[in-house]
Every structure is written in structure tokens, then in C-alpha cells.
Amino acid sequence: MRIIKLVMVMLIAFAGTAMAQSKKGTLVTAKISTPTVQCQEAKDIIEKYMLREEGVASTKVDFKKQLATVKFYSDRTNIENVKTAIANAGFDADNVTADTEAYNRLPTCCKKPEDGGGHPKHK
């Protein structure tokens, strides 16, 4: 009888621990200015890149408004990490400047007009 009670107590303890660990942090929505995003290809690059970022639930980029809407879990990342991730993809994000090497690898249409880039519709 003691063994059964002990097993029951252990099962309850494990269940409580598992439930506590499965809780996710708060889902935060951030709107980030992406002034160097000017085409569909740039939108696709950022959205694909952000899929790999820890804690990011979703990313939607509106290249016409030059705005990225990112949903992320606050217990796994923060707004500065999200901006840095966009910069690491080669694009400016609010006050974070694009990584130079990543920017140089971008297709021509994704680059700034002063660097010979720009989408044909925007020239």
C-alpha cells in the first residue's frame, strides 16, 4: 500500500513539473521599421531568415510600408535580438544597421538605390 501511495505522489510531482515547464512566455508583437526593404525578394529573405531565430513565432514584412511585424516569446528572446537578426540578414532595423557582409551578399534589387540597387518599380 505504501508503494502505491509513493508512486502516486511521484506521478503528481512529475505532472506538476511537466506542466510548469510547458508554459510559454508572453507572446509579444513588435513593429520594426525596415527602411532598406524595397522588394518582394527582400521580404522573402527576412521572413525565411527569421524562421531560424529562437523564440520568433512569426514574421510578416510589408515592403511597401517598409515595416516588419514580428511576434516573439519574451522568455526566449527580446526586441534587440530580433532587430539584430534582421540586421544579420542584411537589412536595417530601426536603429540597428545592416551587417555589411550580409548586405553585400544581397541580390542587386535588395540593395539601396545609391549602391546600384532598388526595385525597378521604385526607380
pLDDT at 76 over 90: yes
CA dihedral 84, 85, 89, 92 (to 10 degrees): -40
Which of the listed CATH numbers 3.30.70.100, 3.40.50.720, 3.40.980.10, 3.40.50.2020 matches domain 27-112?
3.30.70.100
pLDDT at 122 over 60: no
Confidence of residue 8 (pLDDT cuts 50, 70, 90): low
Helix-helix angle 40-50:79-88, to 10 degrees:
130
Query: So what's the pLDDT on residue 119?
Result: 57
> Rounded to an integer, what is the distance from CA 7 to the centroid of its chain?
43
pTM, two decimals, is 0.76
Provide φ and ψ at 71, rounded to 5°. Answer: -105, 130
Q: Which of 105, 116, 118 is nearest to 35 (CA)?
A: 118
Between strands 67-73 and 56-62, the pairing is antiparallel
Q: Tens of pLDDT along 22-43?
A: 456 899 999 999 999 999 999 9
pLDDT at 81 over 60: yes
Confidence of residue 121 (pLDDT cuts 50, 70, 90): low
Q: Give me the residue spans of the domains in the chain.
A: 27-112
